[in-house]
């Protein structure tokens, strides 16, 4: 059974860093585009970043460019999201999602992904 499991969330002060992990089980990541989304209370789920199956192509939302970095280790079946210079506005539940395509044009659309993890909470507060 295909599963995605996020980890690495927590409470961090503004300006701090966290690294989220998305571990896959039941399938190999090699052929999948993986994305990170987030959802804050009362807001819609939004795309944060995506990475193509090869890792060559990465995309970022404007709000996180220069602060977040997505990467993947297909041998470990894991995708990472390094988050630096965190702000209170980054507080949300973070989800990873998978699409069995090497690359996706509209990576920020939730409808593009058929597989989702259950999320990990990130709270940025002093």
Measured at the CA of 22, the angle between CA 21 and CA 27, to 5 degrees, comes to 145
Nearest-CA neighbor of 98 among 16, 27, 15? Answer: 27
List, in order, residues 6 or more apart from 58 with CB less than 8 Å away.
49, 50, 51, 52, 70
Three-state secondary structure call for residue 76: helix
57 CB neighbour count, 10 Å cutoff: 14
Strands 10-12 and 120-124: parallel
pLDDT 10s digit of each residue in the chain, 126 long?
889 999 999 999 999 999 999 999 988 888 999 999 999 999 999 999 999 999 999 999 999 999 999 999 999 999 999 999 999 999 999 999 999 988 888 999 999 999 999 999 999 999
- How far from 99 is each of 23, 34, 76, 85, 88, CA to CA, in Å? 14, 7, 18, 29, 29
């Amino acid at each position: 059974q295909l599963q995605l499991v996020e980890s690495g969330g927590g409470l961090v002060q503004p300006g701090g860093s966290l690294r989220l992990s998305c571990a896959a089980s039941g399938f190999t990541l090699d052929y999948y585009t993986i994305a990170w989304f987030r959802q804050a209370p009362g807001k819609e789920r939004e795309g944060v970043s995506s990475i193509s199956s090869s890792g060559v192509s990465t995309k970022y939302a404007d709000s996180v460019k220069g602060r977040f970095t997505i990467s993947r280790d297909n041998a470990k079946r894991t995708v990472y999201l390094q988050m630096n210079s965190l702000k209170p506005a980054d507080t949300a539940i973070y989800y990873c999602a998978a699409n069995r395509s090497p690359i996706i044009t509209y990576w920020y659309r939730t409808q593009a992904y058929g597989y989702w993890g259950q999320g990990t909470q990130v709270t940025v507060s002093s």
